[in-house]
A and B are shown apart, each in its own frame.
Chain A
Amino acid sequence: MKTGITFILALGAAFFLFYGMDHAIMGMQGLPLNLDLSPAQ
């Protein structure tokens, strides 16, 4: 049970890390994204 919760928390943390990275990297290149990661332009 504890292992499962730890893994779900880790998965959530990793998701936010990569989600933020996608926004940051695309934004830096002048290619902003919407919240659902679709092109904002």
Chain B
Amino acid sequence: MREQSRKELAVKPNSIRYFRFLQFLLLSLLTLGLFAGEFALASEVVVDTVAELAPAPQPERGDYPNIGASSRAIVWVIAQMHLFFGALVLAVPMFVVGIEFMGFKTGDERYDDMAHEFMKISITAYSITALFGGTLAIALFLLYPTFMGYMMEVFGAQMLVYALLFFMESFFLYVYYYGWDALRYGNKKWVHLSIGMMLNGVGLTLMFMANSWSTFMMAPSGVSDVGAVVGNIWEVMKGPLWNPINLHRFIANVAFGGAVVGAYAGFKFLAAKTPEQKAHYDWMGYTSNFIAILAFLPLPFAGYWLMAEVYSYSQQMGITAMGGILAWLFIVQAVLIGTILLAANYYLWSGMSRTEGSKRYQGFIKWIAGTIVICFLIWMTPHTLLLTASEISALGGSHHHILGPLGIMPAKNIAVNLMLIMTFLSFQLYRRSDKVATVSWAPAGNALLTAIYIVAIVNIIFAGVYYGYFTNTVYKVGSSVTQVVSTLIVIVAGVIIDGMMYKNAEVKYPAVWGKVTNRSQYALFALPVAFTWLMGLMGYVRSSVKTHWHIYTVMKDNSPDNYIPAIGYAGNMVTLVTVLFIIFVLFVFWIANLSGQKQIPPQPAIDSAVSGEDRS
């Protein structure tokens, strides 16, 4: 007893020290926040007095420097690369802190090692993000000086706050990564986790600030009709599209980050020499896929909210996106999302071979696959086709009599929701494969879950068909919310019921990590490629809805590129940035791999002398 209290006393000074350190960090952050706030407010006074009534400048063609190449193409490539790497660097620490915490709570060091290895990728990517960010700033100031001058005027000292946060991000990132082993156990782990939380807090703030620049360009707020600054920085930032973009990018970044580190795990799995390495990277790949898909499932709903806000801000902007020149891209988007879901499901089905218990569920796979494929085909069915006169006559009209109704949103809403439910079902079956529920109410729990699946699917199809095709448009749009909620009920009920039912379940068929096909690892490569392409494509849509405006309705774009680029050209550009990103990612993987390698010391001279004697 006395021994124990002595130990506690010995621990106490340390815990107090860490507590004080944490206090210091929190106070520092608070002080910096207040300082930043004061700074921003002070700048508002300047903005209020000097620029309040000054309208936005309207640049002429001659105001854009001509460097002999398309300025838009240059900025496009650099901005997209910065965004890809930025998304990766911000996303990885988010789930790494979660994995680290799980390792700390369970005492399983594998989690800690995996989290540290994920950060290895992030740390290399961070430098590349910063390099592209700097290059982007230079390119924008060089190629669009008037526009950038106005943005500086509107956002003022917020830009300096951004720079300050960037320094803080670097500080927390380096301390978090390099302090990993020094702050690994006991109270020190809490300090390390707190640093991770600070890193994520700063990272998210950075992203939200940068988002406000994009959303200000799409839906300006805090300025008059002619662009004179009339609001404070907060009013400028919180435009109608800011939070929908914040949510959408936050979720998408996590899914994207999970997919990229999944590819790293796949790469290492295929290169692994020993069963232990294979087991480690198999588990790492599974975890990455789990993160990517878990984040991906609510993403369509966040996208739906964003588009609803776009429509409510400007119907014309919404129609440009989904009913005009850009509408076809949503078909390409459907193909890419279908690819992502098929790849993710395939990976889960392959992964079921890790345990013998999965045999109980293998019969479901063909039905899940069939449903996903049918939904995929419905989702990618276009509504309006570009047809010649003879094609129209052969078709019997401008729309096919059977496929035509599948081209509109009610059919696609049914397809998307069913694909998400089927993906969740795959995931649920995978999670159940190695266990047997031992609770007495397991049959009732299974019956309830099955009933929820059946009624949810019926409800989704009923809402889509009945309100979508047999009532007016208002009910058609309104019923899509009930479809989304039906899907969410399945997911939430699935997580809760399974969580309770399998809490103390018997692991009867333990998974053998590493016992998975090499083929399944290619699904892990397909995911980041499809995600990257998708982000590039939808970034093009988001930016293009402004049409010929730098800042919608406030500042016209008079550069030679002031039009929406054709889809073919955009497709090539998006492919170019995707390929570039993948090349850079391979470089990051190579660097991460290189850091773990050690050269074998050269043989001592005596050995060579001996071998020389032997030869003679």
Contact of A29 among B443, B466, B478 (CB under 8 A): B478
Q: Are A26 and B478 in contact (CB under 8 A)?
A: yes
Are B452 and A26 touching (Cβ within 8 A)? no
B residues 361-381 touching A (CB-CB < 8 Å):
none
Of residues 14 to 35 in A, which have CB atoms within 8 Å of B's CB atoms?
14-15, 17-18, 21-22, 25-26, 29, 31
Q: Select which of A10, A15, A31, A38 is within 8 A of B450 by beta carbon.
A: A10
CB-based nearest A residue for B453: A14
Asked if B259 is at the interface of the complex by the 8 Å CB criterion, the answer is no
CA distance A29 to B481 in the complex (A): 9
Residues 478 to 500 of chain B near chain A (Cβ within 8 Å): 478-479, 481-482, 485-486, 489
Question: What are the residues of chain B within 8 A of A17 when measuring CB–CB?
Answer: 452, 455, 489
| Given A31-B474, A39-B475: A22 touches B454 (CB 8 Å cut-off) | no
- Expressed in whole angstroms, the minimum distance between the Cβ of A13 and any Cβ of chain B is 7
- Of the residues A7, A10, A18, contact of B459 by C-beta under 8 Å: A18
Question: Which of A10, A29, A31 makes the CB contact (< 8 A) with B451?
Answer: A10
Q: Which of B188-234 contact A (CB under 8 A)?
A: none
Contact partner, A26, options B443, B448, B450, B479, Cβ 8 Å: B479
Which residues 7-34 of B sit at the A interface, judged by CB distance below 8 A?
A: none
CB of B456 within 8 Å of the partner chain: yes
Contacts of B444 in A (CB 8 A): 6, 10
Q: How far is the CB of A3 from chain B (nearest CB, A)?
A: 6
Question: Considering only CB atoms, which chain B residue lies closest to A12 in the complex?
Answer: B451
Kindly name the residue among B447, B450, B452, B486 whose own CB sees the greatest number of chain A CB atoms within 10 A. B447
Q: Inside 8 A of A9's CB, which chain B residues have their CB?
A: 447
Q: How far is the CB of B336 from chain A (nearest CB, A)?
A: 29
Known: A3-B447, A14-B455, A21-B489. A39 touches B472 (CB 8 A): yes
Q: Are B459 and A22 in contact (CB under 8 A)?
A: yes
Assess whether A10 is in contact with B475, with CB atoms less than 8 Å apart. Answer: no
- Which residues of B from 346 to 361 have beta carbons under 8 Å from A? none
Which B445-476 residues have a C-beta within 8 angstroms of A? 447-448, 450-452, 454-456, 459, 462-463, 466-467, 471-472, 474-475
A11: contacting residue among B443, B454, B475, CB under 8 A? B454
Partner of A7, one of B451, B455, B475, B485: B451
In the complex, chain B residues whose CB is within 8 Å of the CB of A21: 482, 485-486, 489
What is the CA–CA distance of A26 and B475 in the complex, to the nearest angstrom? 8
- Output the nearest chain A residue to B466 by Cβ-Cβ distance: A37
Are A14 and B452 in contact (CB-based, < 8 A)? yes
| Residues A11 and B455 in contact in the complex (CB < 8 Å), given A3-B447, A26-B479 | yes
Most chain B CB inside 10 Å of its own CB: which residue of A3, A10, A14 = A14
* Assembly CA distance A12 to B486 (angstroms): 16
Residues in A with CB closer than 8 Å to B448 are 10, 13-14
Chain A residues lying within 8 Å of B451, measured Cβ to Cβ, are: 7, 10-11, 13-14
Given the complex, which residues of A lie within 8 Å of B450, measured CB to CB? Answer: 7, 10
If A14-B452, A17-B489, A39-B471 touch, does A22 touch B463 (CB 8 Å cutoff)? yes
B477 to A: closest C-beta gap in Å: 9
Set of chain A residues within 8 Å of B466, measured between Cβ atoms: 37
Chain B residue, CB-CB nearest to A7: B447
Chain A residues whose CB sits within 8 angstroms of the CB of B478 once the complex forms: 25-26, 29, 31
| Alpha-carbon distance between A28 and B251 when the two chains are bound, in angstroms | 26
CA distance A21 to B492 in the complex (A): 15
User: Is A25 in contact with B455, judged by CB distance below 8 angstroms?
Assistant: no
Kindly provide the distance from the CB of A1 to the nearest chain B CB, expressed in whole angstroms. 13
Q: How distant is the Cα of A41 from the Cα of B179 in the complex, in angstroms?
A: 63
CB distance from A2 to the nearest CB of B (A): 8
B486 A18 Cβ-Cβ under 8 A: yes
Task: Report B494 CB to chain A, min CB distance, Å.
Answer: 13
How far apart are the CA atoms of A25 and B454 in the complex, in Å?
A: 20
Residues of A within 8 A of B455 (CB): 11, 14-15, 17-18
Question: Residue A25 contacts which of B452, B462, B472, B485 (CB distance < 8 angstroms)?
Answer: B485
- Determine the distance from Cα of A25 to Cα of B443 in the docked complex, in whole angstroms: 31
Closest B-chain residue to A15, C-beta based? B455
Residues of chain B within 8 A of A38, CB atoms compared: 471
Complex contacts, A14 vs chain B, CB 8 Å:
448, 451-452, 454-456
The answer to whether A18 touches B489 (Cβ under 8 A) is yes
Task: Identify which of A6, A13, A38 gathers the most chain B CB atoms within 10 Å of its CB.
Answer: A6
Q: How far is the CA of A6 from the CA of B451 in the complex (A)?
A: 10
> Once the chains are docked, how many angstroms separate the CA of A13 from the CA of B451?
8
Q: How far is the CB of A10 from chain B (nearest CB, A)?
A: 4
* Chain A nearest CB, measured from B492 CB (Å): 12
Contact A18 B472 (CB under 8 A): no
Q: Which residue of B lies closest to A27 (CB)?
A: B478
How distant is the Cα of A39 from the Cα of B470 in the complex, in angstroms? 10
User: Which residues of chain A are within 8 angstroms of B467 by Cβ–Cβ distance?
Assistant: 39
| Residues of B with C-beta under 8 A to A6 | 443-444, 447
Cα separation A5 to B270 with both chains bound (whole Å)? 50
Sampled A-B contacts (6; CB under 8 Å): A14-B448, A18-B455, A18-B459, A29-B481, A38-B471, A39-B472
**Extra 9 A-B pairs, beta carbons < 8 Å, given A21-B482, A22-B463, A29-B481:** A10-B448, A10-B451, A11-B451, A13-B448, A14-B456, A17-B455, A18-B486, A21-B486, A22-B482
Would you list the 5 A-B pairs with minimal beta carbon distance, nearest first?
A10-B451, A14-B451, A14-B455, A10-B447, A10-B448
